Every structure is written in structure tokens, then in C-alpha cells.
Amino acid sequence: MSGSNLVIVESPAKAKTINKYLGPDFTVLASFGHIRDLPPKDGSVRPEEDFAMSWELGDRSKRHVDEISRAIRGVDHVFLATDPDREGEAIAWHVQEVLREAKLLDKVDVRRVTFNEITKGAVLDAMKRPRDLNRELIEAYLARRALDYLVGFTLSPVLWRKLPGSRSAGRVQSVALRLICEREAEIEVFRPQEYWSIEVTFQTAGGAQVKARLTQLDGKRLDKFALGEAGAANAVVERLKPLSYAVHSVEHKQVKRNPYPPFTTSTLQQEASRKLGMGATRTMRVAQKLYEGVDIGGEAVGLITYMRTDGVQLSNDAIGQVRELIGSQYGGDYVPESPRIYKSTAKNAQEAHEAIRPTDLLRRPEDVAHQLERDELRLYELIWKRTVASQMESAVLDQVAVDIASSDGKAVLRATGSVVLFDGFLRVYQEERDDSVDEKLAAEDEAEARLPPVKEGDAMKRGAVDPEQHFTQPPPRYTEASLVKKLEELGIGRPSTYASIMQVLQDRDYVELDKRRFVPQDRGRLVTAFLTSFFERYVEYNFTADLESKLDDVSGGRLDWKTVLRDFWKAFSAAVEGTKDLTITQVIDELDKELGPHFFPSATKDGTDPRVCPSCHAGRLGLKLSRNGAFIGCSNYPECRYTRSLAVATGDEEADALADGPRELGDDPATGLPVSVRRGPYGAYVQLGPRREAAPPVEVAAPEPEPEAGAKKTKGKAKAKPKAEVEKPKRVSLPKGMSPTEIDLETALKLLALPRDVGPHPETKDMITAGIGRFGPYLKLGSTYKSLAPDDDVLTVGLNRAVVLLAEAKKGPAQVPGRALGDHPRDGKPVSLNNGRFGPYVKHGKLMASLPKAMVPAAEELTLQQAIELLDAKAAKDGGKAPAAKGKAAKAAPVEKVKDVEEAPAKKPAAAKAAPKKAPAKKPAAATKPKARAVASGD
């Protein structure tokens, strides 16, 4: 190719790999993902102007664009070589548009090249076959981006106004949240049903043992619940004991088990979660590294094909290579007569690319083990084995069923087992069992225990007769794997978005992962209840899936993208308009009706109504909303000021000990004020005062209920005491492990006396103090803080222990030593890993970013690239602004960003001014558009 050439990709790792494949006539530069995005403010998408869109260059992208602009001067050809999907096409389009607006492309030939794998052959071949940008893919991107923006900027302000304390809502993420919440509701209403099974151990004439389960009695087949209680099971046991038994029939059936298709994005995420314990985000990050290139023998090599795909097919070259490998490594018996051809069964599958496979099947996992990090090797081995197994011969199993009957023919028991006659693909790969199946039953079904040889008429000596009690189990909570599977089955979202969807739900505290399963938080349940009550159509599974189908039709050139937007916006804007007259009372009533069974279970230990206020015994408990969020309060407010945090009563005596109000401990000898232990939304605490003759103030820790919508605020103001008369009580939280039912007056007084002096530091002679703060018990020496360990008592910790803990605080955790990670590729300044008061963090100049909890255990292995990603995300989140000033500015509504889960991380938003504080009684006008809060919506 004559002349000088510029190749633009999206990542520096990809640029580094490709640069080695092209000659000196080529310069390869990275755009570092999307270079521009919709400005995070109202009006970036304008439906009234036929969905005109405004784009803004990100601050962190300006440097990269400037570098590309300098390099483009004097070149003859520009090749846009971003990823081969809709998102990659969009990045290429943005680059071209920015360069065109700068009038840098007037004399330059701009072409698009794509390759499904980053290998020398694939790259050089792609460079010979350039094409123009695909307009249909770009329009599909524009439609999706506009939809996500419109939902975020229109729906999120409704949430903020009508559901105080909630965060933002996204188009696809809200539907995923609904799935999690509905599963939890199923679990809560589930009532286990008892049933019994009977297993008998038999011995053959040869001495072998066979375990069989009772399946027929008195000529009737026993269903699952035929023996519903212990008495019935024991009666049958007594009937079986005196009988003699023999083999009634033996049935052999050969079955074939076929291999699974190669990985798609979603099946890779599912299997990595099941087999490797890797979350979707982590899986995709590791797969990205394997795709973009790993240093193998001094050369950067892409080890796998493109990892964002829903195609299951392999190229003819790959099939030929894998069949040759199977024959040479495992033998001709393992090679099927003809290649296996797979077709995707997933809804909306595009199959635009190959499945995920190794770029070279002859590069075995053991060959690259020394060049890969642990997670990279584990994931590469998983992909390699799955690809090889997909083209292997089927496994052949001999399934055996033996029926053993009593001499009178009234009782029949069955023993089952299977024997692998030919392992086929099982020699290389076995898929993990679906976690939505009852594990015990699945294990029995999949058991490959070999049954001893028996034939009809053989006598069987009876051994132990064991009745076993069972209970039906509720549906399991979603794991990352099962949620991905469900979303794909419903056709909701795209496989490349699933990792980000699940991360956004966790970041917003809508859900949390507990033992690798999603548990909805009350905030998430409130949002879901609100959306299903007032925007039901837009969180319906079919509606979201149909919208995805329309976007796919746009990318296929079968539907105009603006037609999709017009149809959506017409109905959606009308639905939003219909909520403008909603009162807080209406919202509360709907939420109370939807979530009442969750927060007030009908079954209680003592049979009392869970809705009866435990304080006044006359009011009804229900959901309330304040500007700080939702809580549970009494309907007799303000006469009764009982409140509790938005949580289900546990039924545990200790946890619910304070549900009926404060527990008096006695009087403080020094002041004569009463000391009590109370419960607030953040846990139990002890309080000193107020004087008993004074009117009891509302607990500061509990949310302050607001009057119903439309009520005048003057009533509450008239009752407020002058500031000089208000007696503010002292409060201290109970440390973890200290029971509110066991704490006595002496301990409470010690807590109220905190912080206490522990003793002078032996070196500095400065006083060490111990106290309880926002983050729990701590030690303080000057400006150094150190949290106490769970087994350290803030009331008794001694000087020697305090000195040791503070020394650890200064030097940081031993297992996460600070170190230099390297120089930042953009400005050459050093990037380092450090330890702070709140844990490890990375630093570049004045920019600092804390390590997410999931990364802390592996902080020692943190790479420079990972650190840069964290710093970029922090810069984008902060909007490039200085830390907020103290005082009123700090109390301004936080800038909330609805993350676009399909696009690359959103660019750095422009600094947003804090909205002026409004009088509490004043409601925003329903017809007025809310002030933008730097929201750029996404899935």
C-alpha cells in the first residue's frame, strides 16, 4: 500500500499488538474508547427537533484527538480499525466526524477495516479489504443511545421527585432489577411442603450392594407427595421389612450426549461464574486482554477471537484445525464423521461473528501457562477446552434401571445408574450443572455409579430400610450466571451489556451479592414497585425484548431508526406526563399495597397484627417518605412519633428488642438524666436524656416524616420549640457484637463518655484516644486514625495494643504494600499504589482512586493498565472538579450519573452547579422540566 497510513483503534493494548504486524509505513494510534458522548445535561437529545443530538468531546479525550490530529497531517490513508460490532462502528464514526469537522479529511482517504481476531494473518487480510462505514450499525447505535438518554433524563427526575432517596433508572437495568425483586418475592411467599421417600439397601448373591427407592405400592405409582408425613412413611417401612425381594426387570438403554457449542459472550460469562467463580465484569476484562494481545515469547499475540458475540459458529479454517488436533491428540475415534455445525437458539441472536475461540488451537493452555496471569490462564483454558470439545464425538452412556419387587408384588423399588461406554467430548470438557436445578436431584440424575450385574429373578437380600424427610425448596436467587441466562432467554439487552448492568445495580445499592447470589435491597424494591405501579409497560419483559428486536432491525437495515424513536417517545412522554399530578399520598399508597406483604408478613409468632403500632397501639404502621428516603412510621403522626428503618422485622428477639420503643437503663449519677438504649435506621444506640418532664424529641437518627402532599407546613412549625429550649441528647452507637438486650447502665455510661484517653504514645508522647465514629470504633493519634478490629473492645483496648494498631495504620496493611506501577502513558507522570485510611488506592498526580472491594484481595497483582482505568473512571465521576466546599455546597444534591452500560465508560461530565436550596414546603412545578443532574442514561 503506497503512501503513509494511519490506523486508529480504540485501546492502547490493541494498538501495540497491531503495530507489530504492520510495516514502517503505518502509524497505529488509540482513541481510548469513545472520544465523545452526549453532554450530561437536559437537551442533548431533542425530540422536538426530530431527535437531533448534540455531542461533546470528553476532556480526557482531547489529548488523544490532538495526537490523532497531528498524526493525520500528511498521511494518505486513514484506517478505522475499531472492534467489529455496533459499538466499534460507533467509535469509528465519532472519530471520523470529529476529524471531518476539523477539516482534516479533505485530502485523506478514510476506510473501515474489521477483524475478528488480532493475529498477523487476520490483520493483514483485513487491510486488503477495507470498506465504508456501515450506516445501519451507526443508526442502531444512535437509536440505542438516544433511547437510553431519554429514559434516564426523563424517568430519573420523576423518581427523585416522587420517590425521595432513590437514585436513577435505566432502560434495561430496571428490567433486570425487576427480575431480581420478583424472584425474592417468590421466595418470601413460598411455603415449604413436607414429603418423604423410602430407600432400601439390597445385597446381591455376590455380595454387592444396591440402593433402590420405593416407586410403587399396592399397584399404584407413588407421586412426590404420596407420603406426606412421618407417620405414613413409618407405616410403609414396617410393611416393607418382613417382605422378601427379587429382581423384577432390568432395562438397558444407550443414550448419546452431544457436546455443547463454543462460547458466546453470555455462555462464557455463565460458565466462568460456575466453574471459575469469576464475575461477569471480571470475565470480560480478562477476555479483553486475551483478545487484544498477550506477550508470548517477546511478541504480542491475540489469543482469542472477539469476545462480544452471540454467534456459535466456527470458521472453516478453525473447524479444520480443531479436527486435526482432536485426531492427533485423542485419536480418530474422537473425530466425528462430519464437522458439527451449530446455530444459536438465543432470542435476537445476530451471529455476525464467530463464537469465542482460540486464535490458534495448537497453542495449548500448557504451552502459554508461564506467559499468562492466573485468571488469564484459567479463562483461556476454559475457552480452549470448550472449543475443542464442541467438535468431538458424542459420549455414549449405558443407562440402567433395575426394578426390585416384593414377593407379593405390592411393593416395587427402582435402582438407577449409568455407565460411560465411550467418553467422547467428556474426556475434555464437562459443563457445570445449571444452578437453577435442585442440586441433590440433579446429582442423582447425573450419577454415573456402576450398578452390579443382575438379571431378572435374582434374589435380593434386604438390608436397611431408611425413610427420609424432604421439604420442597423455593426457587433460588439469581446468580450472575443464571441472571445472564434469563436475560438472554427473554431477549433483554445485549450480551455485551450484561456485565455493566449487574455492576450498575450494585453500585446504586439496589442489590447486593451474598454468597454469589443477588439479594435486592429495600431501595431497589422501592424503585421496582414504583416503576411497576406507574410505568409498568416500560419494565415489562416483552416490551423491552421487542424494543431490542426493533434495534436489531435497524442494524439490519429493515427499520428506520427515527421511526423507532418516534413510536417510543410518543407513548413514553405521555406516561411521564401522567405522573405530574401524582401526590406523595398516592405514591405511598401504591408502594404500601405492593410492598406491604414484604415489610409486614402476615404470620407472626404471637399472632398479633404486624401493622399495629407497638408504641401507641392505635395507629397503623405503613411506608412513609421523607426527603431522606423511605421508612416505616405510624399513621398517628405527629401524636405518635414511632419510626423504624425500612426493613423487615426479623423475628429474632435481640434484633427486634427495641421495636416497642426505648429501653430505659437508669439515670446518670452525674447529671440525673435518664439513660436509654434505642434503635434508629442505622442500628442500636445509647442516649443520655432528655429530662423526663420535657417533651420527647423525634430521634435524630430516624427519618423525619413529612406531611401528606397538599398539607400546610404551618402546623409543624407552630409546634417547634425555640432553639434555646431544645435539649439535644447525646447519643453513641452500639459497637458490633454488643447486644441491646444485654447492655447495662455501667457500660452505657462508658460509651457515652467516649472518646476516652488510652494513654500517651511512647515515642511522640501525644495522647492516643479511642472512640466510636461514623465508621465504627477507632483509635486516633494526631491526624492518624485506625479502625479497631472486631475482637478489640473500644472500652478496654490498652496502650500497647493501640500502639501496634496505629503503627499498622502508618505503614498500611502488610499484604498490600505500596509500590510504583509505572509511568502514565499520556503524560509520563508516575502512577502508584498506596494505602490510605480507607484502604488501598492508586494515585496519579493529584488524582486518587480507591480500589473497589473486589480488587483489594488481589491488590498486589494490580497492573498499570488497571490503575489507569480506575483513575479514568474516578476523573469521569468527579467531572474534573475540585473537592466540594464545606457547608451548604456540600449538602447540594449529589450529581448522579446513570451509567450507559452498553457504551464505553461515560466521558467526564461538565461541572454542574449545585441547585439553590429550596424551601421544603415548595414542590417543583409538575409541568416544569427538572434541573439536569448530570445524568447520561444507559441500560
Residue positions annotated with a catalytic role: 306
Q: 253: helix, coil or strand?
A: strand
Q: Is 366 exposed, middle or buried (0-12, 13-18, 19+ CB in 10 A)?
A: exposed
Judge contact between 647 and 601, C-beta under 8 A. Answer: no
Cβ atoms of 753 and 793 within 8 Å: the answer is: no
Amino acid identity at 598? H
All residues at 6 or more sequence positions from 355 whose CB lies less than 8 Å from its CB, including other chains: 261, 262, 263, 264, 305, 309, 311, 312, 313, 314, 342, 387
Quote the radius of gyration of the chain (alpha carbons, Å): 33
Report long-range pairs for 97-105 (Cβ below 8 Å, ≥24 apart): 97/55, 98/35, 98/36, 98/57, 98/65, 99/68, 99/69, 99/72, 102/69, 104/69, 104/72, 104/73, 105/72, 105/78
Residues 68, 69, 70, 71, CA torsion sign: positive
Query: Sign of torsion, CA 572 578 580 585?
Result: negative
Residue 202 β-bridge partners: 210, 462
Closest CA to 820 of 843, 845, 853, 837: 843
Other Cβ atoms closer than 10 A to 931: 15
- Asked whether the beta carbons of 368 and 316 are under 8 A apart, the reply is no
C-beta of residue 177 within 8 angstroms of C-beta of residue 367: no
- Which residues are registered as beta bridge partners of 844? 831, 847
Q: Are 421 and 397 in contact (CB under 8 A)?
A: yes
Residue 37 pairs in a beta bridge with 56
Which cell numbers in the block locate residue 851? 480500589
Strand ranges in 565-669 using DSSP code E only, listed in sequence order: 621-626, 629-634, 643-644, 663-667
Distance in angstroms (rounded) separating the CA atoms of residues 569 and 47: 8
What are the residues whose beta carbons fall under 8 Å from the beta carbon of 586, sequence distance 6 or more?
A: none
Q: Which residue's entry shows cell 464467530?
A: 354
- Quote the CA–CA distance of 834 and 847 in Å, as a whole number: 12
Tell me the angle at which helices 86-101 and 59-72 cross, rounded to the nearest 10 degrees: 70
Q: Helix, strand, coil shares of the chain as percentages rounded to 5?
A: 35, 20, 45
Beta bridge partners of 732: 686
